[in-house]
Each structure stands twice: as structure tokens, then as C-alpha cells.
Structure 1
Amino acid sequence: MTLDVQFLTMIVMIISGIYLGAALETFLRFKPYWKSNWFMLYFMEIAFWLSQVLLLFYVLFLVNAGELRVYVFLALFMGFAAYKALFAPLYKRLLELFIRIILTCYHFIEKLIKTLVIAPIKYIIQLLITLILFIVQLLVKVFLFVVKVIFFPIKWILILLYRMLPKNIRNFLHKTAGFYSTMENICKKGLDYIRFKRR
């Protein structure tokens, strides 16, 4: 490996160390969101470190065909230390600012969707339900009116036929109607008593 390649490797590894510090800072910032779930905690830890190792090795492979030397680890550590000493406070402020911007945009889009999409859909659904109920009520009223119109002559015909019946048959019909009415009242009282006992 030539001196140029070694020098380039050291520069790239220092930059990679700075990147690793920033990536770790970002990971730790979001860690509380899955810290309560032990499965997610272990999964995210393993996934983070595995992805970082693979990424750093890929960068190293591009620079010097993946040759590992002691100075590679020293350069990586130097970059990480430089991030902690020089860039960490600035990066934390930028990260918090970026998170606030993302949250503001998210809340704005959420309110926009609720106002322009969800609210009109709700209003249209409520309007349709009101319209359907109105149409159903109207149809029921029309149906009842038609039934009354149809059965009005039949009612008078039955009344006339009833008046034309002999007196003894009319008395029998009165008694039968009274019997059925009494039985209906007894059944209703029995059902009410059973319901009251269940409570």
C-alpha cells in the first residue's frame, strides 16, 4: 500500500469516525422511544452497530481494498474523539432543530389533511346519512298514507258487514275480542314480571 493510499485511508477514517459519532448521537437521541420494549431495544442495538460496521468496512474497501491496519482504528478513534470535542454541541443543536422542523411539518400536514380531506368527508357522510333518513321517513309516511287510503273503504265495508250481522254473532265476536285482549294483557304482565325478576 503506497503512502498516498495510507494518507487517504487515514483522512477517510477520521471523517468516518466523525460520522460514527454523529450517527451514535442520533441513535441515542431516539433510543428512549423503544427503550421500554426489550425486544426492540436489542434489535435496534444490533441493527445499528451491524449496519455501521458494514458501512465503515465498505468505505475502507473502496479506499484501500479493505486492508485493516492499526492506524485505521487509531484514525477512526481520532475522528470519533474530534466529534466529541468539537462537533457534538453543534450537531446536537442542529439535530434538535431538524427534529422540531420535521415535527412542525408533520403537524401542519396532519392539520391540513384533517381540514381539507377528513372534515369534508365527515360532513358529506353526515349529510348523506341525514338525507337517507329523511328519504326513509318520507317513504314510510307515504306508505302509511297509501295503506290508510287503501284500507279506508275496506274498514267501512267491514263495519257495515258487522252491523248487518245478527245480534248473537256480534255478542260472540265481542266476547272473543275481549278474551283475546285479556290474554294479551296477562302475557304482557307475565313478561314484565319476568324482566323485573331478572334485574
Structure 2
Amino acid sequence: MTLGMQWLTMAVMLLSGLGMGTVFDGYRVVTNELKFPRWWIPVLDVIYWMAAALVVFRVLYASNNGEVRAYVFIGLAIGIVIYYFLFSRMVIATVKWLIGAVRKLITFILKCLEILIVKPLLLIYKMVLVILAFGSALTIFIFKIVIQLVRPFWKLFVWMVRPVTRPLGRWLSRFASKWQLAERFSKMGQLIARLWSKWFRR
């Protein structure tokens, strides 16, 4: 491997160290801001280091066919040190600002949805309830008026058909006494009561 390739590999590893530090700080800030459970932190750490190792190896393979030399680790270490001394605070502040901006944006969107959709729907719902209540009250009022108006005519109709209904009532009473309908209905009611007590009161 030429000296130029070695310097190129070292520079790529330095950039990889910068990227590793950036991703590590970013995910740490996200887990703290979003209040992840503490038992998730070790799991996320393991996932991070596995992903970082795979990415670094892929970059190393692309730069020098995966040859592991001392300058590879030196480049990574220099990149990580440079990141934590020069860029760590800036990255943490940027990630926190982005999280705050996303929260404010979500709050704004939810507020707009509440104003433009939820509140109009609630207003329409309340108006429908008021209209239905008014309509039912008006219907009951009109029904009562109609009953009051029809009541004299109903009394007149009953008085007119009374000569016909009296003989019919006498005939029906003789029919009921002949067939003992009252006793049969009474026995049927007693049977239903016994079955009910037998089946449902155990």
C-alpha cells in the first residue's frame, strides 16, 4: 500500500471518528430528552457500537480493502478526540434545539387541528343537539295541542258509537265466560311464573 493510500485511509478514519462522536451525542441527547426508560440505555449502547463497528469496517473496506493497521486506530482516536474537544457542545446544543423545534411544531399543528377541525365539529355537534332538543320540544307542544283539539271530536265519536259497542261488549263477555278465557290466561301466567322461577332462580 502506498503512502498516499495510508494517509487517505487515516483521513477517512478521522472522519469516521467525527461521525461516531456526532451520532453518539445525538442519540444520547434524544434518549435523555424523550425520557427513555433506563433499562433501554445499555441496549441502545450495544446497538450503537455494533452499528458503528459495521459502518467503520465498511468504510475501511472501501478505502484499503479492509486492512487493519495501527494508523486506522490512530485516525479513529484523533477524530473522536477532535470531535469531543471542538464539536461536542455545538452538536448537543443543535440536537436539543431541533428537538425543541419539533415539539413546538407538533404543538402548533395540534393547536391548528383543534381550532380548524375539533372546535368546529364540537360546535356543529352542540348546534345539532340544540336543534334536536328544540324540535322535540316543538313536536311535543304541537302534539299536545292536537290532542286538545281532537279530544272533543273523540268524545263525540265515542258517544255516537256507544249504541253499537255496548251489545258487542256483552257478546264478547259471554264469549269470554263461555271459553273461560280469564282462567286460561291466569293459568298461563302461573305456568310462566313457575318456569321463570325454575330456570332463572337457581
Structure 1 residue 11: Cα displacement: 0.8
Cα pair 2:10 2:72 within 8 Å, conserved:
yes
Change (3 A) 1:149 1:84: same
Question: What are the residue-to-residue correspondences of 1:95-174 with 2, within 5 Å?
Answer: 95-155=95-155, 158=158
Identity of aligned residues (%): 26
State the TM-score, normalized to the length of structure 1.
0.65
Structure 2 Cα separation of the partners of residues 148 and 58 of structure 1: 93
Structure 1 residue 34: Cα displacement: 4.6
Structure 1 residue 43: Cα displacement: 4.1
Change (3 A) 1:123 1:21: same
Matched with 1:11 is 11
1:85 matched to 2:107? The reply is no
SS of the residue corresponding to residue 115 of structure 2 reads: helix
Structure 2 Cα separation of the partners of residues 133 and 53 of structure 1: 69
Cα pair 1:34 1:41 within 8 Å, conserved:
no
SS of the residue corresponding to residue 9 of structure 2 reads: helix
Matched with 2:22 is 22
State the TM-score, normalized to the length of structure 2.
0.64
Spell out, residue by residue over 1:90-149, the C-alpha distance to the aligned partner (whole angstroms, 9 max, x if none).
222222332332233222222222222222222222222322333333334344444444
Structure 2 Cα separation of the partners of residues 49 and 143 of structure 1: 79
The one-letter code matched in structure 2 to 1:8 is L
Question: What are the residue-to-residue correspondences of 1:20-59 with 2, within 5 Å?
Answer: 20-32=20-32, 33-36=34-37, 38=39, 40-59=40-59
Cα pair 2:13 2:75 within 8 Å, conserved:
yes
Matched with 2:184 is none
Taking only aligned residues, the RMSD between alpha carbons, in angstroms, comes to 2.9
- Which blocks of at least 5 consecutive residues in structure 1 are unaligned? 166-199
Change (3 A) 1:52 1:138: farther
Structure 1 residue 10: Cα displacement: 1.0
Change (3 A) 1:47 1:149: farther
- Which blocks of at least 5 consecutive residues in structure 2 are unaligned? 167-202
Q: How many residues align?
A: 161
1:67 matched to 2:59? The reply is no
Structure 1 Cα separation of the partners of residues 114 and 103 of structure 2: 16
Matched with 2:181 is none
